[in-house]
Chain A
Amino acid sequence: MKKMSKTTKNNFVTYLMVILIYAAAQTMAVSGSMSSLMQGLLVPLCAYVILAVSLNLTVGILGELSLGHAGFMCVGAFSSAFFSKCMVETIPAAGVRFILAILIGAASAGICGILIGIPVLRLKGDYLAIVTLAFGEIIKNIVNILFVGKDSNGFHFSTKDSLSLGLEDGGKVIINGPQGITGTPKDSTFTIGIILILISLFIILNLINSRSGRAIMAIRDNRIAAESIGINITKYKLMAFSVSAALAGVAGVIYAHNLATLTAQPKNFGYNMSIMILVFVVLGGIGNIRGSIIAAIVLTLLPELLRGLNDYRMLIYAVVLIVMMLFNWSPKAIEWREKHSLKSKFKKKAEEV
């Protein structure tokens, strides 16, 4: 057998880790040793892992700070939930309907990514960050004033309220402004979520290790040098950004089809969520895809597992977050860890011998 290259091996470990987590979780679920809380968390975890991995493409590989990732998730969630709600009767097979919903969610978020990427990617650094934040908030605001209804005459749209849709009797409101979409079919399952994680990983890891991926990283490391050797900056930036957006849309689809109600609140689709996803990425290691997966899992589980602390729950969560950041990122902590890590001790011993 040909010896695997280091990156291939590394990627292989990542896939294996996801599959092992899946196997472990499934075994626990089937044998009945998993709490309802954990069972309920499996699907959201898949959504957060995909969000973290996809944002890492923008932040780690493309090297641009985006604070609007939840906006793309929102687009994916609403477009797919809208589709599923309309098609519940037309396409009764949940599997087919959900696959179509995923494609629709990914496509609409990806298109939004391209449309937003064209103006946004001209900017740099914190200015780019604030504009992505702005777009995220605009998306949330627009979703909140969107009213769509359906009756025998077809679809009706309004940006005012559901009364001005002018529906005839028997018509139903599908997107009801701030009240969002209720009654989305619960199509998301853990297995589909894991398959989507693996597909996302496959897309991202292959992109990173392809010619395009190297071009994207060249832009990150030195834009001018990359330009001077003939790399089309706009094209590659846009490619990374829209792929990242489309995958966030997929996460949105999973999110929307897991809850019976979908509303665009600051909590789930606002800048708070965008920042939360960024926290996953930075804590897990910028550019480190496997780290993002682990960080997303740890930080999603943490507040749930701290429930026993009652009132102190979120306080402790904040403290743990700060301590983890200091531990992972501070140069002094890194130095200390290297001095005391098992590996360096083995090395020292080897040297002594």
Chain B
Amino acid sequence: MSFVSYLINGVSLGSVYAIIALGYTMVYGIAKMLNFAHGDVIMIGAYVVLTAITSAGMPPAAAVLAAAVFCTVLGVTIERIAYRPLRNAASPLAVLITAIGVSYLLQNVALLIFGANTKSFTSVVPIPAVTLAGGQLTVSGETIMTIGACIVIMIGLTLFIKKTKAGQAMLAVSEDKGAAQLMGINVNGTIALTFAIGSALAAVAGVLLCSAYPTLTPYTGSMPGIKAFVAAVFGGIGSIPGAMIGGILLGIIEVFGKAYISSQMADAIVFSVLIVVLIVRPAGILGKNIQEKV
């Protein structure tokens, strides 16, 4: 029985990684940049929800919407000011470093506005926990909600990219920016749209992260951000279903590692599995392995 409950715990944790990884992988897939500030946008989103609920007295659904709008604006602004000028820089690393700068900036802005004190986040998930096997197993409402949200977002994103004109434009931009421009696609607009969607997803992820693990500090986003990055690479970065699978697998491995090997070594175990997976499948579980041509 404990095996099943560990599995449930793993899926719960993994679903949170998955929902963050979706935003990561979406931005990476189209804009081809690792947005290290993604975790911090998540944190900002959570603070917006918290403030909207406690100070402005908004109902949770409206607060989440407000956070999504706020993060969208924030994401697009960051892209415009900090990332776009470096899109054609001599090295792709330049924009990576700027993203780190943005990450520090967001953390410190939050520190100044909200202070360092831990805030407890009240869950906004209306679904009650489900008990199975005569009360021995519980699946929390947050987990159900997060997995549901993951699936909806995954399907939504896939359909959006496959079926809509804007989505097709994104695909084209991700394949070849120059060619896309020649075909009359507004590259800057498309990438801004990518950031808008990615940041809105970050707001949703922030709400679900803080509903599941209800403490909020200015540094809440950074560690889950890195873990989600690992999850995205695990599943094959750029692949939307890969992010979901990678996230959930990462959660399960982490929990099983703690449960059956050693709780002190949990991080080492997670990262070792990642290394083994990447050595066997160098582009992640669902990633495309592009052969180099001369």
Q: Is the CB of A119 within 8 A of B279?
A: yes
Q: For window 35-74 of chain B, which residues contact chain A by CB distance below 8 Å? A: 36
Closest to B28 in A: A126
Q: Is the CB of A283 within 8 A of B97?
A: yes
A331 at the interface (CB under 8 A from B): yes
Q: Is the CB of B278 within 8 A of A130?
A: yes
Expressed in whole angstroms, the minimum distance between the Cβ of B131 and any Cβ of chain A is 35
Expressed in whole angstroms, the minimum distance between the Cβ of B281 and any Cβ of chain A is 10
Q: Is the CB of B97 within 8 A of A326?
A: no
Closest to A129 in B: B34
Q: Identify which of A126, A141, A225, A328 contacts B268 (C-beta below 8 A).
A: A141
The segment out of A92-100, A194-202, A307-315 that lies at the interface is A307-315
**Which label, helix, strand, loop or mixed, suits the secondary structure of the B interface?**
helix
Chain B contacts for A119, CB-based, 8 A: 275, 279
B155 at the interface (CB under 8 A from A): no
Chain B contacts for A318, CB-based, 8 A: 101-102, 104-105, 108
Q: Is the CB of B93 within 8 A of A65?
A: yes
Q: Is the CB of A127 within 8 A of B284?
A: yes
Report the separation of the CA atoms of residues A225 and B293 in the bound assembly, to the nearest whole angstrom: 10
A236 at the interface (CB under 8 A from B): no
The segment out of B81-89, B156-164, B202-210 that lies at the interface is B81-89
Report the separation of the CA atoms of residues A204 and B104 in the bound assembly, to the nearest whole angstrom: 32
Number of A positions contacting B (CB below 8 A): 49
Expressed in whole angstroms, the minimum distance between the Cβ of A324 and any Cβ of chain B is 9
B133 at the interface (CB under 8 A from A): no
B215 at the interface (CB under 8 A from A): no
Report the separation of the CA atoms of residues A319 and B34 in the bound assembly, to the nearest whole angstrom: 19
- Residues A325 and B98 in contact in the complex (CB < 8 Å), given A137-B268, A318-B104: yes
Q: Identify which of A123, A278, A322, A329 contacts B89 (C-beta below 8 A).
A: A329
Report the separation of the CA atoms of residues A59 and B97 in the bound assembly, to the nearest whole angstrom: 13
Q: Identify which of B93, B109, B111 contacts A278 (C-beta below 8 A).
A: B93
Closest to B105 in A: A318
Report the separation of the CA atoms of residues A121 and B265 in the bound assembly, to the nearest whole angstrom: 25
Chain A contacts for B213, CB-based, 8 A: none
Expressed in whole angstroms, the minimum distance between the Cβ of B35 and any Cβ of chain A is 12
Q: For window 75-113 of chain B, which residues contact chain A by CB distance below 8 Å? A: 82, 85-86, 88-91, 93-94, 96-98, 100-102, 104-105, 108-109, 111-112
Chain B contacts for A127, CB-based, 8 A: 233, 237, 278, 282-284
A124 at the interface (CB under 8 A from B): yes
Chain B contacts for A254, CB-based, 8 A: none
Q: Is the CB of A330 within 8 A of B230?
A: no
A224 at the interface (CB under 8 A from B): yes
- Residues A130 and B105 in contact in the complex (CB < 8 Å), given A123-B282, A224-B292: no
Q: Is the CB of B108 within 8 A of A130?
A: no
Report the separation of the CA atoms of residues A160 and B82 in the bound assembly, to the nearest whole angstrom: 46
A159 at the interface (CB under 8 A from B): yes
Q: Is the CB of B93 within 8 A of A326?
A: no
Q: Is the CB of A134 within 8 A of B271?
A: yes
Q: Identify which of A142, A319, A330 contacts B86 (C-beta below 8 A).
A: A330
Q: Is the CB of B86 within 8 A of A325?
A: yes
Q: Identify which of B90, B274, B284 contacts A329 (C-beta below 8 A).
A: B90
Q: Identify which of A124, A126, A279, A326 contacts B34 (C-beta below 8 A).
A: A126
Q: For window 137-168 of chain A, which residues contact chain B by CB distance below 8 Å? A: 137-138, 141-142, 144-145, 159
Report the separation of the CA atoms of residues A322 and B88 in the bound assembly, to the nearest whole angstrom: 16
Expressed in whole angstroms, the minimum distance between the Cβ of B269 and any Cβ of chain A is 9
Report the separation of the CA atoms of residues A326 and B264 in the bound assembly, to the nearest whole angstrom: 41
A282 at the interface (CB under 8 A from B): yes
Chain A contacts for B111, CB-based, 8 A: 314
Expressed in whole angstroms, the minimum distance between the Cβ of B27 and any Cβ of chain A is 13
Report the separation of the CA atoms of residues A332 and B81 in the bound assembly, to the nearest whole angstrom: 13
B294 at the interface (CB under 8 A from A): yes
Chain B contacts for A228, CB-based, 8 A: 294
Chain A contacts for B278, CB-based, 8 A: 123, 127, 130-131
Q: For window 119-159 of chain B, which residues contact chain A by CB distance below 8 Å? A: none
Report the separation of the CA atoms of residues A38 and B219 in the bound assembly, to the nearest whole angstrom: 30
A275 at the interface (CB under 8 A from B): yes
B175 at the interface (CB under 8 A from A): no
Expressed in whole angstroms, the minimum distance between the Cβ of A67 and any Cβ of chain B is 10
B226 at the interface (CB under 8 A from A): yes
B181 at the interface (CB under 8 A from A): no
- Residues A134 and B274 in contact in the complex (CB < 8 Å), given A314-B108, A325-B101: yes
Report the separation of the CA atoms of residues A128 and B223 in the bound assembly, to the nearest whole angstrom: 20
Q: Is the CB of B294 within 8 A of A311?
A: no
Give 4 nearest A-B pairs by CB, closest first.
A134-B271, A318-B104, A329-B94, A318-B105
Given A131-B274, A315-B112, 6 new contacts (CB under 8 A): A123-B278, A275-B100, A278-B97, A322-B82, A325-B97, A330-B86
Q: Report 22 cross-chain contacts, Cβ distance below 8 Å, ordered by A residue.
A: A119-B279, A122-B279, A123-B279, A123-B282, A130-B229, A133-B230, A138-B272, A141-B265, A141-B271, A224-B294, A278-B96, A282-B96, A315-B109, A318-B101, A318-B102, A322-B82, A322-B98, A325-B98, A326-B86, A329-B86, A329-B91, A331-B90
